[in-house]
Amino acid sequence: MSATATPFPRELVREDLRDFAGYSSARTSWAGTARIWLNANEAARANHADPEDLLRRYPDPQPAPLVRALASAYGVDPADLVVGRGSDEAIELLVRALCRPGGDGVVVSSPTFGMYAVSARLHGVPLHDVPQRDLGDRFEVDANALTRTVRETGSRVLFLTTPGNPTGSTVPLATIGALASDLARSAVVVVDEAYQEFASGPSAITLLGDHPNLVVLRTLSKAHALAGARVGVAIGHPDLAAVLRRVQAPYPVPEPVSRLALAALEPSALSDTAARVVATIAGRDRLRDLLDRSDLVEQVYASEANFVLARGAAGPLLETLAGTGIVVRDMRHQVEDAVRVSVGTDAELDEVARALHLTPAPTTQRKP
């Protein structure tokens, strides 16, 4: 079943791209069967480094077995899904397809993932920021201000990240649904769920059937431990998915990556991923406790991702950890006096504890 039976608002696509056919590759220009392929100027013989002759041919632009496996994993129709080079490419495709260079606009809610701003700038699209509210233990988006900003600026894309990066905070489904409804004819609401597997609540994928202007981004980089493979998807209305495929560069999924991703979506691999997620959540709780006990940390934010955001004496904290060879992310460019620490293995968290002169054992005591 497709994400929605309601038509996608075609007017949200760039006017000059609404009828754009895209690049017709050798793979997509022939729909029939063939015995001998001589249409793509590929080498006639395999490379010595490829003795099984797996890489001599160009790959399918959207490998059907992988698309079906990803669609099954996320509970959507294959027609609703576009696979590409990580979520970063999906972000790029959305800005490219929906926003005119020098016009329209992209709305974000800082602190947030930096690629939204990068893609907007690369395409010459104005960026409008509606800062989140810092509630002390978590961050909260200002839905009314986001709706107002989209309308006042004529923006075509609103990016939400849940769980947020670097905040670790989530956006309630009711808020996402309300934004999508309020902006139904104004903008595409993009929900970046790179860390959804670590969250306690349901995915915004459950809202797709009611909102043609909603897109959800997912990735194999985090919970599935395949950051080096670069596999991400955009899930949304099939009409919009077709537009994104047309503006995508050819052959986005190399053959080895496709095979690896398929293997990662096998039942045994998914079982291993589920166990890894459970271990990560336990490690996240322990990491929060460690940071909470450090004299260099004043505030530890709640997190539903695979990292923890903390505020305090950021400079000394960064120096202390770096002095023992531990690198964490300096987030002071987004949140005052803040660092972001990824959840590591038990042994790595032991090293963090030692670097902070703490006993490795966790504690349930929190600062007031």
For 23-69, write each residue's pLDDT tens digit: 988 877 888 888 999 999 999 999 999 999 999 999 999 999 999 99
Number of structural domains in the chain: 2
Tell me the CATH number at 256. 3.40.640.10
pLDDT at 32: 85
Give the Cα separation of 69 and 264 in Å (integer).
10
Give the per-residue pLDDT at 362.
Answer: 53
What is the secondary structure of 275-308 as a DSSP string? HHHHHHHHHHHHHHHHHHH-TTEEEE---SSSEE
Per DSSP, the three-state class of 158 is: strand
Average pLDDT estimate for 340-358: 96
Q: Which of 217, 239, 265 is the last residue of a domain?
A: 265
Peptide bond into 111 cis (omega under 30): yes
Per-residue pLDDT tens over the stretch 253-281: 999 999 999 999 999 999 999 999 999 99
Task: Tell me if 209 is assigned to some domain.
Answer: yes
Q: Has residue 219 been placed in a domain?
A: yes
Residue indicated by tokens 């595409």: 188
Check residue 87 and give left, alpha or beta (phi > 0: left; psi -120 to 50: alpha): alpha
Average pLDDT estimate for 170-192: 98
pLDDT tens digits for range 137-168 = 999 999 999 999 999 999 999 999 999 999 99
Question: DSSP string spanning 174-194?
Answer: HHHHHHHHHTTTT-EEEEE-T
pLDDT in tens, 98-130: 999 988 999 999 999 999 999 999 999 999 999
| Each residue's pLDDT tens digit, 224-233 | 999 999 999 9
The answer to whether the beta carbons of residues 78 and 211 sit under 8 Å apart is no
Mean pLDDT of 317-328: 97
2 pLDDT above the threshold of 80 = no
Same domain, 275 and 198: no
Q: Range of 284's domain?
A: 269-355
pLDDT of residue 1: 43
Task: Give whole-number Cα distances, 216 to 1, 67, 146, 261, 301, in Å.
Answer: 17, 15, 18, 19, 25
Helices (H) and strands (E) in the chain, counts: 10, 13
Length of the chain equals 368
Looking up residue 308, the CATH number of its domain turns out to be 3.90.1150.10
pLDDT digits (tens, 9 = 90+) for 85-105: 999 999 999 999 999 998 899
Residue 364 has pLDDT above 50, yes or no: no
108 and 250 in a single domain? The answer is yes
120 and 186 together in one domain: yes
159 and 303 together in one domain: no
* Mean per-residue pLDDT over the chain, rounded: 95
